[in-house]
Amino acid sequence: MSQVPVFYRQRLLTPGPTQVPEAVLLEMAQPIIHHRTKQFQAIFAELSQRLSRVFRTKNPVLTITGSGTTAFEAAQVSLVKPGSRVLTISCGKFGERWQDIYDRYAPVLDIKENVKLDVPWGQAPTAAQVEQILKDKPDISVVTIVHSETSTATACDLKAIAAVVGKSNALLIADGITSVGAMPVEMDGWGVDVLVTGSQKAMMLPPGLGYVGLGERALARLEEVPVRGAYNLDLRAWLKGWKKNDVPFTPGVSLIRGQRVALEMIENAGLETVWARTRKLADATRAAMAAMGLKPISQSPSDSVSGAFYPEGVEDSKFRAALRDKHGVHIAGGQDGRGAKWKSSIMRVSSMGYVDAGDILVAMAAIEAELITCGCKIAPGSALAAAGKVLGA
Amino acid sequence: MSQVPVFYRQRLLTPGPTQVPEAVLLEMAQPIIHHRTKQFQAIFAELSQRLSRVFRTKNPVLTITGSGTTAFEAAQVSLVKPGSRVLTISCGKFGERWQDIYDRYAPVLDIKENVKLDVPWGQAPTAAQVEQILKDKPDISVVTIVHSETSTATACDLKAIAAVVGKSNALLIADGITSVGAMPVEMDGWGVDVLVTGSQKAMMLPPGLGYVGLGERALARLEEVPVRGAYNLDLRAWLKGWKKNDVPFTPGVSLIRGQRVALEMIENAGLETVWARTRKLADATRAAMAAMGLKPISQSPSDSVSGAFYPEGVEDSKFRAALRDKHGVHIAGGQDGRGAKWKSSIMRVSSMGYVDAGDILVAMAAIEAELITCGCKIAPGSALAAAGKVLGA
């Protein structure tokens, strides 16, 4: 296949996959090692320890071959009690996916009711809403929540929601796919029972690994709930392997090597420093968007991704093609779901992981230039001025 | 983590993961691209076409994020008819795994009976055995078979078995995890309904992708069978994505890039040439093993992996550690299963993928040297003489 040669640097600012540091790419290009060796076990053990520190937990974080969806589905099927209700909270496309998964499994896992809390896209669910539902339906055994809803660039107050769920008999399974490593998440400190993330976001790796942190209550639930269906997705098998620095099925050895290096980079920089930096880049992005007169999509913005509605007259696919072809800047559009149809009406820019001020500044300058090309009335330089003010502060 | 520095070349001759060509490692180290782009779609489209050619089918071969087990489980859960029987054929550890998966799913997928054909380890199931069972139990809707049983280095006559199953109402799901790309498999020519493989064997990639080829009868069955459980493992979702050169959940973009290059290498060399070469390396291995007086583990040997029982007095873990530490040669031991306990009694050497005569010769010389160290009576040089005779022929 002949690939279009692109000489100039390409900037990937989509909210997953995200850019991967060169050191990680080269680590993954090392010769393959076998997974039943001391060398691999040492790498895996170190990765597991680093994962627990980044999840802010003293408990296991399992490494699962697959996508973030694989990992989240595994948590959903492994932890629900037969005959119970589940509460699935959605404020965007990913929340809807976790709702769909329990709908799909309801008959085979004997789920009495899939209680759905649907919050308008762009808004975040509140602890009070969750508390009320748990009071009304005390036989809910699992609550799913999205910490950072990538499709709407929206973050909820996970700490407050975890506190409310912690007082009930339900376990909280939190989607931290675009929050872990990007913004403050304290798994043990906040009492998050299960925290899931994927490799291709703030963890600075290509897609291919999912991670599941299991708190005390989740570990107890695993002992208690019978296994139904799920073989590869059975968390018990992964937990058993984890205890021996092993995995039940041939693991992604290259990705695991790369993830160890990426987490070493994050820990060497300091996790709080990475959080602060991600926030600063998001703040700069949002300031630039505001300076260009763009309306934000979220009323409760996440630090990992920022989104804005297109002004009238801007056509999504043409606009993003111009960013790619003329500026080497790759950003995301929107998605359609039950809660909204945003496929062609929004743009989203990531600030997660291996992205720096230069990437954001180039992206903002490119967005400004192409909006002006589309006829938007923007004073040239406003986006960079606004972003620069934040970055320099 | 400080890693033991190993200056000399390490040779990975385990039957998965296997060695990955340098060109593939470097391709995977290219900057990450987003999967919803024309660039990725072109790569994916080319990969899909190459996969179909290597599977010898004109039908779709799906690329699934996960291990070979993920892909096989997806086929098992997506294709079984409710209320029907399944026939799971085993002659080793992997056959047992596919049996276990249907045991696990029996209640949720409404499987009437999991009919198990257990063939002694080291032997291959026959078409006559399968024919008899299908005659006795005409409501079998799925038959699972392992073409090359890695745990016992044994190949069955997949062509004959596919012919028998093709005359019944059952679909054949064949585990080609260590056969596709290593030895002759003609998906369409033999009428194999579903053929599964993984990336980390003869496909010359790190672990992380599974492939599922779907024949006409399997595609029809997918339309007909209701979806139960399985979300990520639902082949319908992957097939729907495949038609648009897309995947339903964020794919392993680096692995997919690498796989395209690895398949290009295989096709440039010629698939038949690769099969012949794999066979020659296996023949050389077996000849060397025989010259050292080792008893083969299989009565129906596979070309992708060769195995022998240890002579008395050779302790598995010490022996393989000596191969690794003194010679840089990594081979596999055995596994325990229901059919046999081979964990410490056998050695296995792969001839799949990116392995050449030099690797095999170094491995054979090392095995000979360490067997002599263990007190075995072997004339020095016999292993290389026997291997050389085959390779030179």
Residues 6+ apart with CB under 8 A from B25: A28, A29, A30, A31, B258
Which of A42, A66, A330 lies nearest to residue B65, judging by beta carbons? A66
Percentage of the residues of chain B whose pLDDT score is greater than 70: 98
Residue A62: strand pairing partners: A212
* Between A29 and B5, residue with greater pLDDT: A29
Residue in the block written with tokens 């802010």: A56
**Tell me, what's the pLDDT at A7?**
63
What pLDDT, in 10s, does the model give residues A339-368? Answer: 999 999 999 999 999 999 889 999 999 999
Q: For A97, name the nearest residue in chain B, comparing CA atoms only.
A: B231
Q: Tokens standing for B118?
A: 């257990």
**Cis peptide, bond prior to residue A17, ω within 30 of zero:** yes
Left, alpha or beta for A350 (phi > 0: left; psi -120 to 50: alpha)? beta
Residue B327 near residue B310, CB atoms below 8 Å: no
Nearest CA-CA distance, residue A30 and chain B, Å:
7
Among candidates B17, B73, B107 on the partner chain, residue whose Cβ is nearest the Cβ of A32: B17
Using CA coordinates, name the residue in chain A closest to B100: A231
Interface subset of B 122-151, CB within 8 angstroms of A: none
**Which residue, among B25, B184, B322, B208, has the nearest Cα to A199 in the 3D structure?**
B208
CB of A232 less than 8 A from some CB of B: yes
Overall average pLDDT of the B66-94 stretch: 96
CA distance B152 to B159: 20
Any A CB within 8 A of B27 CB: no
Token pair for residue B338?
Answer: 């229901």
Classify B194 as helix, strand or coil: strand
- The structural domains of chain A, ordered by start, are 11-17+270-392 (3.90.1150.10), 22-267 (3.40.640.10)
pLDDT > 50? residue A271? yes
Which residue stretches of B55-143 are H helix? 68-79, 93-109, 127-136
Greater pLDDT, A35 or B50: B50
Structure tokens given for B92: 């080793």
Interface of B with A in 54-113 (CB under 8 A): 65-70, 73, 77, 100-101, 104-105, 107-109
DSSP for A115-140 reads EEEEPPTTS---HHHHHHHHHH-TTE
Instruction: Say whether A296 sits in a helix, a strand or coil.
Output: strand
Sequence-ordered list of residues with C-beta below 8 angstroms from that of A18, at least 6 positions apart, any chain: A12, A200, A201, A202, A204, A350, A352, A353, A354, A355, B32
Residue bearing tokens 């072997």: B378
Relative orientation angle of helices A271-291 and A382-392, to the nearest 10 degrees: 150
Minimal Cβ distance to A108: which of B19, B108, B200: B108
CA distance A188 to A57: 5
Which of A4, A14, A25 is the closest to B34 by Cβ?
A: A14
pLDDT band at B9 (very low <50, low <70, confident <90, very high): confident
Give CA–CA dist A304/A307, Å, rounded: 10
Interval B153-186: pLDDT, tens: 999 999 999 999 999 999 999 999 999 999 999 9
Q: Cα separation of A325 and A11, whole Å? A: 11
Name the residue in chain A with its Cα closest to that of B5.
A39
For residue B129, count CB atoms less than 10 angstroms from its CB and return exposed for 0-12, middle for 13-18, buried for 19 or more: middle
Q: Which residues from A are below 8 Å from B14, CB to CB?
A: 34
Q: Taking CB atoms and an 8 Å cutoff, what residues of chain B touch A101?
A: 231
pLDDT digits 0-9 by tens, B127-149: 999 999 999 999 999 999 999 99
pLDDT at A252: 87
Residue B359 pLDDT: 92
Mean predicted confidence (pLDDT) in B231-240: 93
**pLDDT at site B3:** 40
d(CA B9, CA B194): 38
Phi, psi of B105 (to 5 degrees): -90, -10
B335 reaches A (C-beta below 8 A): no
pLDDT of residue A4: 42
DSSP secondary structure letters along B372-388 = HHTT----TTHHHHHHH
User: In Å, how far is B35's CA from the nearest CA of chain A?
Assistant: 8
Which of B39, B104, B251 is the closest to A227 by Cβ?
B104
B199-221 confidence digits (pLDDT tens): 999 999 999 999 999 999 999 99
Q: Is the pLDDT of residue A2 over 50?
A: no
Q: Establish if B10 touches chain A: CB-CB under 8 angstroms.
A: yes
Beta bridge partners of B145: B174
What is the DSSP secondary-structure string of A51-108? HHHHHT-SS-EEEEES-HHHHHHHHHHHHPPTT-EEEEEESSHHHHHHHHHHHHHHHH
Q: What average pLDDT does the structure give for chain A?
A: 94
Nearest to A66 among B25, B66, B324 (CB): B66
CB burial class (10 A; 0-12, 13-18, 19+) of residue A8?
Answer: exposed
Task: Tell me the residue ranges of DSSP E strands in B278-336.
Answer: 305-309, 329-330
Instruction: Judge whether A145 and A174 are in contact, CB under 8 Å.
Output: yes
Cβ(B45)–Cβ(A23) below 8 Å: no
What are the residues facing A301 on neighbouring strands? A154
Q: What is the pLDDT of residue B1?
A: 32
B260 at interface of A, judged by CB pairs closer than 8 A? yes
pLDDT digits (tens, 9 = 90+) for A113-133: 999 999 999 999 999 999 999
A183 vs B114: CA distance, rounded Å: 48
List, for residues B291-346, the tens digit of each pLDDT value.
999 999 999 999 999 999 999 999 999 999 999 999 999 999 999 999 999 999 99
b/e map B225-249, b = 16+ CB within 10 Å: beebbbbbbbbebbbebbeebebbb
pLDDT value of position A274: 96
Residue type, position A170, single letter: A
B187: three-class secondary structure by DSSP: helix
For CA atoms A247, A250, A252, A254, the dihedral sign is positive
